Structure formats: C-alpha cells, structure tokens
C-alpha cells in the first residue's frame, strides 16, 4: 500500500456518519480487531502518526503536521483482549502516539510527551496486507510512532531521523480499505394518503450472519444502519422490529467493498 495515497472519496454521502471520528468495535475477516478509534493520520514531513480531531498538532519538521496526503487510519483503543503491543498513549501536547520505555521520550511541542487523559492504544501485528499497512514502529529516541518501511525515516524531535526501536511488524488499518455494509430499513406507510410510499424504521435490529457468527446493530432515526469492517464473505442480513415486521437479504463482501442493502419490513 502506498503510504502517500489520498484517502478514497466515498461516493455515498450516507456513509459519512459511519466514518466519523469515533470509537467503535470493528470486525475484520471474521475476527474482532477490538474497539478502534478513527481520526489518525500520517504526516508527510516527519513520518509520524498524529490524531487530528480538534486540531493538528506541532511537527518536528516545523509548523503543524502535514496530513493532506494521508490515508485515514484506525487504532485499537482500550481493549485489553486485543492482540498486539499495548501501552501506547496519545500525547496531550503534540497529539502523537508514543510508547514510553525508560522515559516519555521527546515531544515536538517541547519537553517530554504527556500521557494525561490517554487510554491504552494497541498496535496490532500483521493481519491482512490488502486492508492494513505494515511498516509502523516507534522511535527509540523520541518514543513516537512513525512509518518506518522506507528510508529516510522522517524527522525526529530528538534530532536527525527516527530510529526504529523494534522490528517493522506493526500494522495500521486503513479506514478507506475497511469493508462497509450499510443501508436503510423501511416499512410501508401507514398513512392512507401516502399509499405506496415508505417510512423509515428507527430502532430496528439488524443482524449480519456469516457461518455461525452474527453481529448486530440498530437503525438510527432515519432508518439507516452501518457495519464497518464487516467480515469478508457471504452474509445473511436480517432486520426486525417488534410489532412492525421482519425482512431479510444476502450480500457478499470483498476487501474494500462499500455495499448497500435496503430492507422493507413486513408482518
């Protein structure tokens, strides 16, 4: 995966709510990645990883991070069951991701990184090269996470280039590559004057089943639902709401798919 590829534009505006900056449980090819936080970007000046929600942090290359050429990444957050390297924190001063070893490293905002208010972030091991991006590690000088698959290794706030503390085995998941299934759940209008029209069903239960594994969600006020990072393969989709009805369908999900399945409830 080219680290400089521009985030793919999603053609369907209804997907924006699914890809908002949030923490959500994400599935990948039948396995749970865990609770993930969106809103992370790669900086083209320093090669570092930074959280951009609420403003862009300072860059050791001068000014603030340059994230315009970055894909959008998700990072596992506050999930003790997630596999990988735990103990990463978001710095409250530079908004970068770092892993304290003997100290808190060097912060581009000056002084050392500050983990105040941060949760526990986890850098996962290699899983799926078509969805994730390998080559992420952290620097032995500044303790910050950066992309280290290619030399030179960016700009380090401790001076010179970053130096990998451990092997290039970490992986970040590209948000634009996560398979997404979305749609709307409706029912026939109960208004006699609106015969033939439909109305959204809020609070309907939507289930996606593949093999013996089922994941669930509920529709929003506009009847929409969304599964991010849904497992690859063929799924049976079922929507239901008490006293309203049920509906079902099928869909096959491949890497990077953005598919829509609309369902109309019937008693």
> 137-150 in b/e burial notation, b at 16+ Cβ within 10 A?
bbbebbbbbbbbee
CB of 40 within 8 A of CB of 51? yes
DSSP character string of 41-87 = EE-TTT-BEEE-TTSPPB-TTSSB---TTPPPEEEEES-TT--SEEE
Quote the radius of gyration of the chain (alpha carbons, Å).
21
> Mind listing the pLDDT tens digit of every residue in the chain (267 residues)?
333 222 222 222 333 334 344 455 565 544 455 677 888 999 999 999 999 988 899 999 999 999 988 888 888 888 887 777 889 999 999 999 999 877 899 999 999 999 999 999 988 776 544 567 888 888 999 999 999 888 788 999 999 999 987 654 567 877 766 777 888 999 987 665 455 578 999 999 999 998 888 888 889 888 988 887 777 789 999 999 999 999 999 999 886 677 889 999 998
Distance CA 199, CA 89 (A): 45
DSSP character string of 210-234 = ETTEEEEEE--TTSEEEEESPPSEE
What's this model's pTM, rounded to 2 decimal places?
A: 0.65
- Return the structure tokens found at 38: 């969106």
How many helices and strands, by DSSP H and E, does the chain display? Answer: 0, 19
Distance CA 95, CA 145 (A): 11
Distance CA 77, CA 30 (A): 19
Which residues contact residue 119 at a Cβ distance below 8 angstroms, ignoring those fewer than 6 apart? 77, 78, 89, 90
Distance CA 246, CA 24 (A): 26
Residue 10 has what pLDDT?
26
**C-alpha distances in Å from residue 123, one per residue of 21, 42, 138, 175, 243:** 19, 15, 10, 15, 45
């Amino acid at each position: 995966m080219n680290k400089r590829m521009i985030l793919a534009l999603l053609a369907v505006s209804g997907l924006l709510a699914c890809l908002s900056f949030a923490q959500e449980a994400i599935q990948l090819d039948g396995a749970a990645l865990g609770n993930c936080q969106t809103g992370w970007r790669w900086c083209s000046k320093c090669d570092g990883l930074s959280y951009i929600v609420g403003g862009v942090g300072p860059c050791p290359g001068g000014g603030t991070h340059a994230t315009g050429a970055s894909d959008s990444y998700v990072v596992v957050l506050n999930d003790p069951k997630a596999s990988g390297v735990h103990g990463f924190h978001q710095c409250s001063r530079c908004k970068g991701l770092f892993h304290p070893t003997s100290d808190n490293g060097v912060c581009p905002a000056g002084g050392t990184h500050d983990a105040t208010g941060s949760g526990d972030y986890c850098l996962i091991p290699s899983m799926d090269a078509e969805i994730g991006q390998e080559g992420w590690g952290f620097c032995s000088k500044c303790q910050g996470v950066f992309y280290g698959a290619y030399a030179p290794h960016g700009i380090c706030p401790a001076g010179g280039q970053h130096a990998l503390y451990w092997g290039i085995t970490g992986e970040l998941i590209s948000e634009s590559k996560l398979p997404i299934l979305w749609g709307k759940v409706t029912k026939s209008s109960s208004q006699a004057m609106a015969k033939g029209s439909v109305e959204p069903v809020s609070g309907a239960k939507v289930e996606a089943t593949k093999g013996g594994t089922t994941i669930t969600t509920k529709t929003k006020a506009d009847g929409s639902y969304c599964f991010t990072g849904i497992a690859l393969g063929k799924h049976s989709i079922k929507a239901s709401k008490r006293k309203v009805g049920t509906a079902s369908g099928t869909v096959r999900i491949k890497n990077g798919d953005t598919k829509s399945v609309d369902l109309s409830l019937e008693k």
